[in-house]
Structure 1
Amino acid sequence: MKKLILFLLLSIVCKVNAQTEKDKSQILSILDQQTKAWNNGDVSNFMKGYWESDSLMYIGKSGVTYGYNKTLENYKKNYPNKAAMGTLAFDIIKVNFIASNACFVVGKWHLTRPEKGDIGGHYTLLWKKINGEWVIVADHSS
């Protein structure tokens, strides 16, 4: 009986861990796709990692912005062309699953911009699995 219980517990742990690794891989892939879109000057495709909802929250130096469309509008206003966008690089510091459908990612971002000067900072992204897809529901970048 003890062996059966141990086997069942190990099976559950292995399945949960495998799911977490798959989810982590999906999130990192989305971040990679976002980086490529940004570096191609494509803000609209960069935004595909975000939750397309009025409840999306973006926190930056200007305060809190709500909504996918407003966030997209702000990105386009603040980064009107490829020169302003520069070349984006992410450095992932931590990926932490806080539930089976929620994760936060902490990292550094850096824009190399020869004409405008380099900028960078840190970010925390809150991810949620909605309808089987991982999306950023809150972004705090500074």
Structure 2
Amino acid sequence: MRLRKRASHALLFAVLVVPPARLPAQEKPDQLRTMSRQELDAVKVVLAQERAWNAGNIEEYASAYKDSPDTLFVADTISHGYAGIVQDLHRNFPTKEAMGQVSYTGLEPRSVDERVSVVVGRYHLDRSRKAGGNADGVFSLVMEKTEAGWKIVVDHRN
């Protein structure tokens, strides 16, 4: 448990202190940027999803999405609504082996306004060839501040 806590702190430190792989044109690579509380809260949602996925817990992973018919997941197809997203996750990843292990890197959070944040980053899915093989890509998340905390309302993966 102590090792897991240290690893979480190290990851949080890396996200807060290490500059992202791609910086906006106005920022120089040797400049650090301090995250706002809102941006940090958005990153926490992404890291909680990573932990839930790697534990094989689709329900906990899906709890990061807003429970609304308007929530969207865009990948090879478009899933509409929280229920549709959860159904598609269970269909596409029926076992822990099929889920594999995911890692998110290069997280770049941005506050749009006090109720909306965007997080972009990269993902790597590590799994056996039999389970579908590895996958890499980029993602963008639009998050909304709700009474239940920050929730994903649009998830786009490529």
With normalisation by structure 1, the TM-score equals: 0.81
* Counterparts of 2:148 and 2:82, CA distance in 1: 19
Q: Which residue of 1 aligns with 2:75?
A: 60
Is residue 26 from structure 1 mapped to residue 52 from structure 2 by the alignment? no
Is residue 126 from structure 1 mapped to residue 126 from structure 2 by the alignment? no
Q: Which residue of 2 aligns with 1:13?
A: none
Q: Which has the higher strand share?
A: 1
Task: Answer yes or no: is the 8 Å Cα contact 1:92–1:105 preserved in 2.
Answer: no
Highest Rg: 1 or 2? 1
* Counterparts of 1:132 and 1:74, CA distance in 2: 23
Q: Which has the higher helix share?
A: 1
- 1:110 CA drift (Å): 0.9
What residue identity is the alignment partner of 1:46?
A: Y
What residue identity is the alignment partner of 2:151?
A: V
Q: Which residue of 1 aligns with 2:57?
A: 42
Q: Which residue of 1 aligns with 2:124?
A: 110
Q: Secondary structure at the match of 2:118?
A: strand
Is residue 96 from structure 1 mapped to residue 110 from structure 2 by the alignment? yes
- Structure 1 pair 72–132 and aligned structure 2 pair: CA distance change class (3 A): closer
Q: Give 4+ residue runs of structure 1 displaced > 3 Å after superposition.
A: none
Gaps of 5+ in 1: 1-17
- 1:95 CA drift (Å): 1.0
Identity rate, percent: 24
* Matched positions, count: 123
Is residue 51 from structure 1 mapped to residue 37 from structure 2 by the alignment? no
What residue identity is the alignment partner of 1:121?
A: G
Root-mean-square deviation (CA), in Å?
1.6
Q: Which residue of 1 aligns with 2:87?
A: 73
- 1:132 CA drift (Å): 6.1
- 1:24 CA drift (Å): 1.7
- Structure 1 pair 81–26 and aligned structure 2 pair: CA distance change class (3 A): same
* Counterparts of 1:28 and 1:94, CA distance in 2: 8
Query: 129-138 or 75-84, which moves further after superposition?
Result: 129-138
With normalisation by structure 2, the TM-score equals: 0.73
* Counterparts of 2:43 and 2:63, CA distance in 1: 14
* Counterparts of 1:93 and 1:106, CA distance in 2: 6
